[in-house]
Amino acid sequence: MSFTLLHTADLHLGKSFSTLPPERAGQRRADLLATLARVCRAARERRVNLLCIAGDLFDRPQPALPLLAAARRALADASVPVLLLPGNHDPLDAGSPYLDAAWPGNVTVARTPGWQRIPLDGPETWAFGYARDAAHASPWDNFPGCAPDALLALHAACLAPGLAADAGYYPFTPAEIPPCAYLALGHHHRAAQVAPTAWYAGTPEPLEAEISPATALLVTLDGAAAPLEPLGVATRSHRAVTVDVTGLSAEEIWARALDAPTADDLLTFTLTGLLPAETALDLAALQRELSPRCFALELRTDGLHLPGTAADAGGVLGALARLARAREDGLPADDPQRARLARAVRYAALALEGKL
């Protein structure tokens, strides 16, 4: 008989969103609660056997009491069994709400530091209680072992390729994961598979520009493989738009920028490439124009090379930029060779940064 699991993590309820204006920051905090309600509704409507929240439900160890009450109401409304793990943002510190008994009857909390057997109907289930004092050690050091069809839940940092090496958050390698039907992971905000049966669900609401799309994972355990279905539950979408300005006029850059945002978007707009010498681009004015057109804007220019900046750089890039500028000086303003020279400098910069 199959067992269905809705796996999520890292909602970070109560996050400050300090880079946003106060009103928008408050709206984003409301978004997170709305996303939790949507996760719980999906669990209820699909009649899953278990909703697992693998850590960092809250952004801090002791959330505000109204927020805590709202989260408890949402979990009660799920009307299915819920397994709730503490994480590095909401660990088992003194005063943690995970240590009191005021949780709805359908919620089981991993309230003991380290591994504990969870008494739930279905497969053998183990969950890890995150405590700060031993977070430098591998979480598998004291694991008692499990059946190969067991369900495990853990908030920790897997040291797998492509993931940040967070050595202070119960670090472990994929090779340490024991045979199991499924390991539900929390901590990294992007969904990622780290072993055949081990997944980070990521955050269900995008918190950073690189998270797109944000989902929860619907997992079916049937004794063989564990097929996954991503569920879109986010309140807002996060879009990342990149424009290479090499060879573009200011009018073309503005046109592409103003075509990017929509009113409810969380937009990360990145300008890269080499700005043509004859192009005057007012970045502050561009940001002022873009900001009202989307819910939140991050304008990135770390990959943008201004003509003087590139030509004044040392090494190969500076030499190539100066050579290109010298060649441009003898060309008409509308000569297509100007764009080709600018692209050559752009590709050189990418090559030197190891991005080609």
pLDDT of residue 226: 78
Q: Determine the number of helices (DSSP H) and then strands (DSSP E) in the chain.
A: 7, 15
258: part of which helix (H) or strand (E)? helix 250-258
pLDDT of residue 318: 62
Domain ranges of the chain: 3-231, 238-352
pLDDT of residue 280: 77
**Adjacency order of strands within the sheet including 3-8:** 107-109, 82-85, 50-54, 3-8, 216-221, 228-231
pLDDT of residue 217: 97
pLDDT of residue 145: 95
DSSP state of 353: T
For 3-231, give the CATH class: alpha beta
Q: What is the mean pLDDT of each run of 10 residues along the chain (356 residues)?
A: 93 93 93 97 97 98 96 97 98 94 95 96 96 94 95 97 90 96 96 95 86 88 83 88 86 86 83 78 88 87 70 59 64 67 64 57
Query: From CA 71, how far away is CA 64, in angstroms rounded?
Result: 11
pLDDT of residue 260: 79
pLDDT of residue 345: 64
Query: From CA 142, how far away is CA 116, in angstroms rounded?
Result: 11
Query: From CA 203, how far away is CA 213, in angstroms rounded?
Result: 10
Give the chain's radius of gyration (CA, Å).
25
Give the relative orientation of helices 250-258 and 283-290 as an angle to the nearest 10 degrees. Answer: 20
pLDDT of residue 246: 83
pLDDT of residue 299: 87
End-to-end Cα separation, the chain, in angstroms: 49
Query: From CA 336, how far away is CA 344, in angstroms rounded?
Result: 13
